[in-house]
Amino acid sequence: MNVNIIQALLVFVVTFIMAIDQFSFLESLYQPVVLCPIIGAILGNFELGVVVGGAYQLMQIGSMPVGGAQPPNAIIGGIMATVFAISLGLEPSAEGVGAALGLAVPFAVFGQYAVTVTFTLMSGMMAKADEAAAKADTKGIAHINYLSMAILGTLFGVIAVAGLYSGQALGEALREFSLNFSWVMAGLDAAGGMMKFVGFAVLMKVMMSNDMWGYFLAGFAVTVIMSAVPSISGSALLLVSFIGLAIALADYQLNSKIKASAGSAGNGGMSDGI
């Protein structure tokens, strides 16, 4: 994969916008499922970008900032996963992108550091923001926000472009290396494949309550059964999601009726002395 100056500039611009979106626009454009296909299109392989985006989204689905603590950054990680996948010439399948996901993690950590550096730099500006707020100076507050956006977007853009060229070189070196040491790529592929399940497990740890495990296990069983039937295996997850939606609606309607009945029972008249 040869990267020209136009592609590098486009990657910088896209990364700049996505960095701002993550903390300011909040339109979820920065999510890997949106970002990776765009980067894939810029680098000439949109289909592989879609597959990488879906796989990397599973890694990040349970990763979220808590207070000032930042997880490995989804933007830089998603970009580098796409770069590695294209550089390595991987097949556009969920099984083929595991190595790229594993290689992208160190770069995602650089994105994490960039966020921490930006927050640290801007912490000294909060006194200025307080002064502007006391004076009802909306322009002053806006300028401080614009400054933080510019710093974060520039840091992310520089990291992405640097990673683009280094990732290209590293990807090509690994591709040559894998011809003689296939076990290295097999290990990276296994590590990258495992990360998707770890990301989903983190999300479940936060969201799952004891009364949900029955639904989860039932959904898992139905998915496995449907996947074994050739005629419906391709749409097994979609079918199970519809079943889950039906159960959720039925549960909501049942609980709504129970609450309504309880409310009406407590608003009876006084003729019976109760």
* Beta strand spans in the chain (E): none
Residue 103 — pLDDT band, cuts 50, 70, 90?
A: confident
Query: Using alpha carbons only, how large is the chain's radius of gyration in Å?
Result: 24
Map residue 185 onto helix, strand or coil. helix
114, 141, 145: which is closest to 130 by C-alpha?
Answer: 141
Same domain, 103 and 79: yes
Whether residue 53 has pLDDT greater than 80: yes
Cβ burial, residue 175 (10 Å; 0-12/13-18/19+): middle
Let me know whether 72 and 143 are in one domain.
Answer: yes
Decide if 153 is inside a domain: yes
pLDDT digits (tens, 9 = 90+) for 133-186: 999 999 999 999 999 999 999 999 998 898 888 876 766 665 566 566 666 656
Is residue 268 in a domain?
no
> Looking at the predicted structure, is the pLDDT value of residue 52 above 80?
yes
Outline where DSSP puts E strands in 141-218: none
In a domain, 92, yes or no: yes
Q: Is a pLDDT exceeding 60 seen at residue 121? A: yes
CB distance 55 to 90 below 8 Å: no
- pLDDT at residue 199 in the model: 61
Residue 195 lies in a domain: yes
* pLDDT tens digits, 63-75: 666 555 677 788 9
Lookup result for tokens 């401080």: 144
**pLDDT, position 175:** 59
**Mean pLDDT, range 253-268, rounded to an integer:** 74
Q: What is the pLDDT of residue 196?
A: 60
Is pLDDT above 70 for 3? yes
What Cα–Cα distance (Å) separates residue 124 from each residue in 24, 133, 236? 19, 15, 52
**Three-state DSSP class for residue 240:** helix
Average pLDDT over the chain reads 80
Contact, 162 vs 107, CB < 8 A? Answer: no
Phi and psi dihedrals of 69, rounded to 5? -75, 130
Q: Does 15 lie in the same domain as 144? A: yes
Among the candidates 179, 207, 235, a domain finishes at: 207
Q: Do residues 138 and 232 share a domain? A: no
139 plus 233 within the same structural domain: no
Model confidence at 6, in pLDDT bands (50, 70, 90)?
Answer: very high
Task: With respect to residue 151, please indicate whether it lies within any of the assigned structural domains.
Answer: yes
Alpha carbon separation from 261 to 50, 92, 137, 258 (Å, rounded): 49, 54, 53, 5
| 112 and 225 assigned to the same domain | no
Assess whether 24 and 154 both reside in one domain: yes
Write down the pLDDT at residue 114.
84
How far does CA 77 lie from the centroid of its chain?
A: 9
Q: Does residue 269 fall inside a structural domain?
A: no
pLDDT tens profile 218-246 = 888 888 888 888 888 778 878 888 898 99
- Asked whether residue 117 falls in the same domain as residue 157, the answer is yes
In a domain, 270, yes or no: no
Which residues partner with 66 through β-bridges?
A: 69
Residue 178 amino acid letter:
S
Whether 271 has a pLDDT exceeding 80, the answer reads no
Domain check: are 26 and 81 in the same one?
A: yes
Q: Is the pLDDT of residue 248 over 50?
A: yes
Which domain covers residue 229, as residue numbers? 209-263
* Averaged pLDDT for residues 190-215: 68
Residues 83 and 108 in one domain: yes
Question: pTM for the complete prediction?
Answer: 0.65
Tokens of 55: 């796989």
User: What integer pLDDT is reported at residue 273 of this predicted model?
Assistant: 47
Are 219 and 200 in a shared domain? no
The total domain count for the chain is: 2
Q: Are residues 230 and 203 in the same domain?
A: no
Q: Tell me the angle at which helices 32-42 and 5-20 cross, rounded to the nearest 10 degrees.
A: 170
* 271: in domain: no
